[in-house]
Amino acid sequence: MSESLVDQMNAALSTTIPIAAKMGVTIVEAGRGYAVSSVPAEGNGNHFGVIYAGVQFTVAEVLGGIIALSTFDTAKFFPLVKNLDISYLKMANSDLRAEARLDDETIERIAAEAEANGKSDFTLESDIVDAAGVVVARTRGLYQLRAYPKS
């Protein structure tokens, strides 16, 4: 995906999910079947000096929408999150990065199901890593690609 499209996604993120933009969540990379996001530590601390759990949740949760938008026909489909489980493994006190991927076989299944049924569920797993590359949290999200209602 070109840098200008990542810039467009970041601009859209600031209007569609303003709180994510306020946290400093940004899309670093996006393309067919993958997305990478990041969030700074600065301004996202909690009462005992580590990154607030909701910030960690958000940097991973947005990946499902970004992958859907960069992989599927946005004129026909939109993404939504149905569930997201997170396991906090270590205290986070530096900038964070999250990444998720869908393989080609899964992409084809989702596209075919959404075309035929108007929706398709898919699962994304993500590691949230700190600046040293330590996994501080893991997520498993259930997302759905849904067709826009026909007029």
- Per-position DSSP letters for the chain, written without gaps between them: --HHHHHHHHHHHHHHSHHHHHHT-EEEEEETTEEEEEE-STT-B-TTSSB-HHHHHHHHHHHHHHHHHHHS-TTTEEEEEEEEEEEE-S---S-EEEEEE--HHHHHHHHHHHHHHSEEEEEEEEEEE-TTS-EEEEEEEEEEEEEPPP-
Predicted local confidence at residue 4, as pLDDT: 81
Q: What is the band of 150 on the pLDDT scale with cuts at 50, 70, 90?
A: confident
Q: Which domain holds residue 9?
A: 3-147
Q: Identify the CATH number of the domain in which residue 62 sits.
A: 3.10.129.10
Pairwise pLDDT comparison (12 vs 62), residue with the higher score? 62
Q: What's the per-residue H, E or C state across 6-45?
A: HHHHHHHHHHHCHHHHHHCCEEEEEECCEEEEEECCCCCE
pTM: 0.92
- Two structure tokens written together for 71: 């992989």
d(CA 83, CA 139): 10
Q: What is the pLDDT of residues 57-67, one digit of tens each?
A: 999 999 999 99
Work out how many domains the chain is built from and give that number.
1
